[in-house]
Amino acid sequence: MLEAAHHYAAVARAIVYVRTHARRQPSLAEIAAAAGLSEHHLQRVFSAWAGISPKRFLQVLTKQHALAALRESADLLDAALEAGLSGPGRLHDLMVSCEALTPGEIKSGGGGVELRHGLAATPLGLALFGWTPRGLCHLAFCDGDEAAKLATLRADWPAANFVQDDAGAAQLAARVFPTAPQAGRLHLLLKGTNFQVKVWEALLRIPPAALVSYGQLAAALGRPEAPRAVAGAVAANAIAYLIPCHRVIRESGENASYRWGVERKLALRAWEAGRAGA
């Protein structure tokens, strides 16, 4: 996991460079130099991290690929939602289920709850995990801002009893990002309005490497007039990756902002595409 996190840092540098110079289609040598690697090392890092070549990786990040994925997603989204919003989703062989806090529990700010938290390496960099006896409630990727991320978690649960547990976070990271498919169940504890929870449950149904637009998601939820409200709910998600808000993009194929950085959103998409292909 530590090696994968290290590889992600190089991948992120490459993505920043490609996004900045996309119009002139930089060469592999230029991208490798920007990532601080040789061309051969870049090839090896991409293959080990993403499961696909740098060329295929960059193709996945293009607008053309995104538009094609959106065209294919309509039937996929309808079928996923018909299976039921509240049922379990699938992450590899790991079953992901969820429940929502009650309004009273939200109002109390986590009073009487023991909330354990810790930092752990993931394939997408260092992440802050937060969990209670009822399930994982927070997963935030960090970029040297660990203290700020922890402050956000504390603000979301102001009355909870916080306990640092980095070992527990490492165990969770191994379950969320397994090196090989594994059986089991991971429970999520969601803190949001009824509408937000419905949007997050819908996202749990979207398969890895698939993309949907805000408008498609709003229509599938029976709220075609509310893509902005859907976008707000997507942005409010506090559980990165597992509730896959990175799979939602604009109808134009462009990437909207992402709570944990647009480069990471792009990396997640390409990383999932590589794993899906494998």
Active site residues: 245
Using the structure block, give the residue that is written with the tokens 């601080």: 36
Using the structure block, give the residue that is written with the tokens 């997408």: 124
Using the structure block, give the residue that is written with the tokens 């969990």: 131
CA distance 257 to 264: 11
Query: What are the distances in angstroms from CA 239 to CA 10, 18, 126, 149?
Result: 24, 28, 14, 12
